[in-house]
Chains A and B, each alone.
Chain A
Amino acid sequence: MPSSVQFRSVSVEPILHDINLRIAAGEAVAFVGRSGAGKTTTLRLVNGLARPTSGEVAIDDVPLGSADLIQLRRRTGYIIQGSGLFPHRTVYENVATVPRLLGWPDPQTRAAAEELLAKLDLPLSRFGDRYPRSLSGGEQQRVGIARAMIAKPAVLLCDEPFGALDPIVRRDLQDAFRALRSGVTILFVTHDLAEALRITERIVLFDGGRVVADSPAAEFTSQPLPLVQKFVAAASLPA
């Protein structure tokens, strides 16, 4: 079941200032903005890797301050640039990490891994026993997606997951990701506007640690706000 995410006057001084956002259960939101705008920090507030200096973040209206962070993290997927795969664990062991922490029986884990990896074009029979270093960047990132999504997280946090990939691989992964995105609330950080438009239905623009625009994806580019127009111009979308 997807969860809703609330930011209530959240500040992380001196990086973020008075962030207010309500993200509905099942929504897919992109955080865009120039480097250093505060997107990563905002994302990391949701799984407690960053802490507010004031205000609060809540999931399904339960403030993180009163939640069990370890349990919360096991229900929250996190996909990052460079994938962060465990280099000493095989593809299967990596993907099975959260199910193991949750105490799933082995056959359930194996079945879920098999299904998910097949959808990501990484058949378990061929890739399961390989180590991350023997995979291409795109393959590693796919394993990262599988690892984050196998236990059906309520919220999925993505921090420029495809940022380091070449354009063709990037496009393939965006398509694969789109096919998987139902049933989970997605917060997707990217500095690529085309990627934001392709993957999400709502775009939030950050600048200088503040939210400066927040609109449905379809209407984002037509907003007259100067900061938005500047960002859109810099993004040079394909015609």
Chain B
Amino acid sequence: MIADVLRATGEHVVIVVIAVGIAIILGIPLGIWCARRARAGRFALRIVDTIQTIPSLALFGFLIPVPLIGGIGMRTAIVALILYSLLPIVRNTLTGIRGVDPIVLDAGVAMGLTDRQLLREVELPLAMPTIVAGIRIATVIAIGVATIAAAIGGGGLGTLIFRGVSMVDTRMILAGALPAAALALIADVVLSFVERRIA
């Protein structure tokens, strides 16, 4: 039992870390792009926003028949988690960049910083606390949604919960639910700490 819980927890962490990691790699550039191009940015944000409103089990359902990324298993689960994690990261990157004091930006441009230097040296560092907040929200959401991923064979702590439900075994359910809740709490606390440190 203990071994099962540990393995499931490990799987859960791996799924979430991979998904949030990829969402960061995709989401920050997308957020920067949205901040640069107002119209196209609004459109992109609307799409990401729409994905977020799809109920998670339905999203898994939609993905299963998609070739290459779909099917039953962990890969589909990770793709769905990436899609869910994207919104808070994209939106917070955008908000963080938009929130930089225009006088500070003006001063940067006036000193001869190139667009790229302005982004790297001024906009991103000043937006970073907001971006980290987005990553925190994305991580907490991903930990939650990942429990549902077990329904499509995604692995992780949801496996124990679903097995417990079908066997009417409360101990089994809790063996999945408690570590999942603990993971979400730990992620929230740790990333909140990072957020405050860099603010």
Interface residues of A in 77-130 (CB under 8 A from B): 78, 80, 82-88, 97-98, 101
Interface residues of A in 48-103 (CB under 8 A from B): 49, 70-74, 76, 78, 80, 82-88, 97-98, 101
- Contact pattern, A 131-142, Cβ under 8 Å of B = 1, otherwise 0: 000000000000
Known contacts A72-B112, A74-B112, then 15 further A-B pairs from the complex at CB < 8 Å, ordered by chain A residue: A49-B106, A70-B112, A71-B112, A76-B110, A78-B110, A80-B103, A83-B103, A84-B106, A84-B108, A85-B107, A86-B108, A87-B104, A88-B126, A101-B113, A157-B110
A101 to B112, CA, bound (A): 8
Write out the residue numbers on chain A whose beta carbons fall within 8 Å of the beta carbon of B111: 73-74, 78, 97-98, 101, 147
Write out the residue numbers on chain A whose beta carbons fall within 8 Å of the beta carbon of B117: 101
A-side residues, CB < 8 A to B, are: 47, 49, 70-74, 76, 78, 80, 82-88, 97-98, 101, 144, 147, 157
B-side residues, CB < 8 A to A, are: 101, 103-104, 106-114, 117, 121-122, 125-126
Write out the residue numbers on chain A whose beta carbons fall within 8 Å of the beta carbon of B121: 86
Q: Give 21 pairs: A residue, B residue, CB < 8 Å, sorted on A.
A: A47-B110, A49-B106, A71-B112, A72-B112, A74-B111, A78-B106, A78-B110, A82-B103, A83-B107, A84-B101, A84-B103, A84-B104, A84-B106, A84-B108, A85-B107, A86-B104, A86-B107, A86-B108, A101-B111, A144-B107, A157-B110
Closest chain B residue to A144, Cβ basis: B107
